[in-house]
Amino acid sequence: MQKKQILPGTIKRHPDGFGFFIPDDKEHPDVYIPRTSMEGIMTNDKVMAEVYPEKGSDRFRGEIVKVIQRGTKTFVGRFYKLNDKYGILRDEGKGWGQDLRIKIEDSMEAKDKELVAAEAITYPEDGKQFTGKVVSVIGNALDPLTDIKRVILSNNIPEAFSKETLEEAKRYKEVPDEKDFKGRKDLRGIDLITIDGATAKDFDDAVYVEVNNEGFLLYVAIADVSHYVQVGTAIDRDAYERGTSVYFPNFVVPMLPEVLSNGLCSLNPHVPRLCMVAEMQFDFTGEMTRSDFYEAVMESKSRVTYGEAQEIIDGNVVEKHAHVKENILRLADLAKILMGKRFKDGSLDLEIPETELVIDGAGVPIDIQRSERLFSHRLIEEMMLAANVAVAKFLNSRNVPALYRIHEPPNEQAIRLLEKYMATFGGKTKLGQGKLQKRLTKALEEFENRPEAQILNILTLRSMSQAKYSPNNVGHFGLGFEYYAHFTSPIRRYPDLIIHRLLKNQVVKSSQYRLMSEDDLATAGTILSAAEQRSTKAERQVQSIKKARFMEKFIGQELDGMISSVAKFGIFVLLREYDCDGLIRLDDLGGDKYEFDEENLKLVARRSGFTYSIGDNIRIQVAAADPELGQVNFVKAGVEIEDHDEDEEDDRTPAQASSEKYLKRLRKNSEKERERGDKDYPRIHNDRKEQRPSRKEDRFAKGKGKEEKGEKSRFKEGRFEKEGKAGKGFGGGKPQKSKFFGDSREDKSGQSLKQDKATKQFNFKPRELDSEERKGPDENLLRMILGPSEFRKANREDSAGEEKPKLSKKLRFSENSKLRDEDSYSVKNSESLKDSRLDKKKKTAKKKK
């Protein structure tokens, strides 16, 4: 039996107060931390924990020994003014453990309920309160223009460059110096062109191809960022901290100062630019026969958009690009050959349209579209993939420790689950026979041009592991490459900048660039993978917020959709007309009770046997949209819903509202209370997220984390089912009710500590309620407060003849959780919606029977 040990790791705090400790040792299972040890501990804190196995179980329990590093430094929320001295930021997402207290003099004169960003002054440890000061007043929380700002701050994305970086940036000119051309190959006579989106401002890459006796000679010129961003400079430090540029609708947080990202490093047309070139010779079958890498100076001959390139490929005339027409057509020919070879070798072809948000100047979404992927997009992707593979192979051949882009194969359990999904749709291909990539491609081909194809592509992507950066090259499963590294986007990705420096160490004479140790590369891989996940999370949050804003105007309207996911708590519906999805909870599916058939992945009605399955068409009614949380709720069209909006203004006095609440609570007492040990408590591993693909390549970066991809999680769903919510002990049994605090605690000893602490501080002791107090307000008193008619109405005595409202003005969401930070199609996307346990108000907001 294992003994107690002290391990470093990260904490994830559950909204109910307990937590899970994720050890840095990846081989060690996750560890349950009781509420008694979570005081002052916040989500993402780095801690040391004493860990020990539970008796008679393979589960682990632990106690926090000390906090090594705080994971949250900036706290974003609404400022609520309590009095003339203090205000608070409420712990809406339940990740801090308590509200943040702010002195009025430290509030930057923020108004009541105004959105602010605050920094902690003291954390809740060693008897200290959780206090802070406002560092930025964002504005009205409901103003669309504040959406991006609050997401940036809440995700701790560095937005402002340091003073040192800005000083260094001032030294750069608009064009390169002639002295920088010395020793470089001059490619200004070659018709290199950029092909990018219409709104792009930073151009990393330019391409040119010519046909010779051996096949195709391809030039991929990449901006020479490493020439300007030297190791150890302030610009380099800021770029490493950011890790990547973050792209939002109509706004970008760049990795590099604008003078570099949009100026000197950007391959703008008709101006000289420094570049690193991958020159590759392919035969007519698409096999690379040789490659060469060198520093060069180039001049883009045309700035071509994807749409314009597609026009030329389709045979139409685009006058302003007539001089580069032949180059574009040759590039298209090579792309077709490379693509065919790649798919033949086992690369997966998942066509998942990305969301395109059309936003006006006020930050309001005008439309949500599925962005169309043209062949011109694929053309550029193939050129970039070829260059990335060539560089990775070269560095490997030189035995140079490098930072590879890796994508591990999915585990067997995830594949079995995916196979089950496909069988539900009528698929016949078995995934367990032969090369997995080819079997997956064949299985997806069965559904080509069918409505289910999009959902199956999404489900396939979810089954994948998460692409990341690592010096330990295990290949790229999704692309089917043995060697793959990111080389083509150094303006917006720091890993590419590392690869450029390593490459220059090998190919540039008298190079000032140094190799990196494997330990340093491993550290960089971890940090930069996390930065990429942070960026992806923020981009998705903004998308969710904007989608919710867009859907607000459809509240009450009926739309057609398709079920994209089925879960124990409801179904997710993807709309046909707009690239937006929402949750229909079990209670909003109709009068029957539904059970989740895990074996066949469907919801089955107990009485009628009616089922809801993935791929089913369904007509829905938009019930609610919450831009602040980025959540959308649907109900099945035709299902009557109640108005549970307790925050809606009315004419009731506080006494009337309080009395009506009490009567409702009396009526609910007869109902069986929801079991506290619910197996479906939301998982809280918010750091292992699905990732969005890069702008031009590596679509498999969207692969899920371990919990998402179906792998046997280190704590399985239902593993702590006996423990339940905050009130139950880890081993089960009845919760210990607090007579003083009115809530539940993990164990008696923890409760005693709380009471002792309260007694010392306030000289106040808990007391037993006598029988009269337990009964609550006298019925006659309630009648007097409410009046006879209101009393009968509140007590349902004369409501039989009332007509129920067909549609609520606004539905409350199941929980005040953090913004969802996963893919809009993911079941995990709305873990925060599925469990209404976390909000006491929501417990009473059930539909009338």
User: Looking at the predicted structure, is the pLDDT value of residue 392 above 70?
Assistant: yes
User: Looking at the predicted structure, is the pLDDT value of residue 743 above 60?
Assistant: no
Contact 184, 201 (CB under 8 A): no
Report d(CA 55, CA 848) in Å as an integer: 45
User: Looking at the predicted structure, is the pLDDT value of residue 27 above 90?
Assistant: no
Where helices occur in 715-844 by DSSP H, the ranges are: 748-762, 771-775, 779-786, 788-794, 831-834, 840-843
How high is the mean pLDDT of the chain?
78
Task: Produce one character per residue of 361-380: b if its CB has 16 or more CB atoms within 10 Å, e if not.
Answer: eebbbeebeeeeeeebbbbb
- Residue 134 backbone dihedrals phi, psi, to 5 degrees: -75, 130
pTM for this structure?
0.68
Contact 38, 50 (CB under 8 A): no
| Displacement of CA 52 from its chain's centroid (Å) | 32
Report d(CA 185, CA 292) in Å as an integer: 12
Neighbours of 269 (CB within 10 A): 16
Report d(CA 231, CA 731) in Å as an integer: 53
Report d(CA 136, CA 102) in Å as an integer: 13
Strand-pair partners of 208: 219
Average confidence (pLDDT) over 258-269: 94
Q: State residue 567's pLDDT score.
A: 87
Q: State residue 675's pLDDT score.
A: 39
Q: State residue 18's pLDDT score.
A: 83
Range from 401-410, 476-485, 571-580, 776-785 carrying the lowest mean pLDDT = 776-785
User: Looking at the predicted structure, is the pLDDT value of residue 195 above 50?
Assistant: yes
Residue 499, C-beta contacts closer than 8 angstroms, at least 6 positions apart: 391, 395, 402, 403, 485, 486, 487, 490
User: Looking at the predicted structure, is the pLDDT value of residue 750 above 50?
Assistant: no
pLDDT: which is higher, 742 or 631: 631
- Confidence tier at 591 by pLDDT (50, 70, 90): confident
Return the amino acid letter for 388. Answer: N
- Confidence tier at 403 by pLDDT (50, 70, 90): very high
Average confidence (pLDDT) over 778-800: 51
- If phi > 0 it is left, if psi is from -120 to 50 it is alpha, else beta; for residue 840 that is alpha
> Could you tell me whether strands 194-196 and 303-305 are parallel, antiparallel, or unpaired per DSSP bridges?
parallel
User: Looking at the predicted structure, is the pLDDT value of residue 391 above 50?
Assistant: yes
* CB half-sphere exposure, 454, CA atoms < 13 A: 15
Query: pLDDT of 669-691, one tens digit each?
Result: 434 333 333 333 333 333 333 33
The single-letter DSSP state of residue 193 is B
pLDDT: which is higher, 838 or 160: 160
Q: State residue 114's pLDDT score.
A: 86
Neighbours of 484 (CB within 10 A): 25
Report d(CA 430, CA 426) in Å as an integer: 12
- Confidence tier at 44 by pLDDT (50, 70, 90): confident
- If phi > 0 it is left, if psi is from -120 to 50 it is alpha, else beta; for residue 632 that is beta
Helix or strand (DSSP H, E) at 405: strand 404-406
Task: Produce one character per residue of 381-393: b if its CB has 16 or more CB atoms within 10 Å, e if not.
Answer: bbbbbbbbbbbbb
Handedness of CA 500, 502, 503, 509 (dihedral sign): positive
Q: State residue 397's pLDDT score.
A: 96
Contact 332, 378 (CB under 8 A): no
Residue 459, C-beta contacts closer than 8 angstroms, at least 6 positions apart: 418, 421, 614
User: Looking at the predicted structure, is the pLDDT value of residue 811 above 70?
Assistant: no
Contact 425, 458 (CB under 8 A): no
Strand-pair partners of 279: 219, 292
Q: State residue 196's pLDDT score.
A: 93
Range from 284-288, 373-377, 494-498, 741-745 carrying the lowest mean pLDDT = 741-745
Q: For the chain, give me the number of helices (H) and strands (E)?
A: 20, 33
Return the amino acid letter for 572. Answer: F
Q: CA 23, 28, 29: angle at the middle one, nearest 5?
A: 90
- Confidence tier at 825 by pLDDT (50, 70, 90): very low
* CB half-sphere exposure, 284, CA atoms < 13 A: 4
User: Looking at the predicted structure, is the pLDDT value of residue 488 above 90?
Assistant: yes
Q: State residue 795's pLDDT score.
A: 55
User: Looking at the predicted structure, is the pLDDT value of residue 452 above 50?
Assistant: yes
Query: pLDDT of 233-244, one tens digit each?
Result: 999 999 999 999
Q: State residue 757's pLDDT score.
A: 52
pLDDT: which is higher, 127 or 303: 303
pLDDT: which is higher, 802 or 373: 373
Which of 490, 536, 491 is CA-nearest to residue 826?
A: 536
Average confidence (pLDDT) over 708-734: 37
User: Looking at the predicted structure, is the pLDDT value of residue 95 above 50?
Assistant: yes
Q: State residue 760's pLDDT score.
A: 53
Cα end-to-end span (Å), the chain: 52
In terms of average pLDDT, the best of 82-86, 144-148, 483-487 is 483-487
Average confidence (pLDDT) over 457-464: 81
Q: State residue 715's pLDDT score.
A: 35
User: Looking at the predicted structure, is the pLDDT value of residue 730 above 70?
Assistant: no
pLDDT: which is higher, 481 or 656: 481
Q: State residue 753's pLDDT score.
A: 52
Contact 150, 115 (CB under 8 A): yes
Report d(CA 118, CA 207) in Å as an integer: 46
User: Looking at the predicted structure, is the pLDDT value of residue 649 above 80?
Assistant: no
User: Looking at the predicted structure, is the pLDDT value of residue 833 above 60?
Assistant: no
Neighbours of 415 (CB within 10 A): 20
Q: How many residues does the chain have?
A: 849
* One-character DSSP codes across 226-268: HHHS-TTSHHHHHHHHH-B-EEETTEEE-SS-HIIIIIITS--
The position carrying tokens 């009731």 is: 652
Query: pLDDT of 315-327, one tens digit each?
Result: 999 999 999 999 9
pLDDT: which is higher, 50 or 658: 50
Residue 537, C-beta contacts closer than 8 angstroms, at least 6 positions apart: 155, 689, 821
- Residue 616 backbone dihedrals phi, psi, to 5 degrees: -70, 140
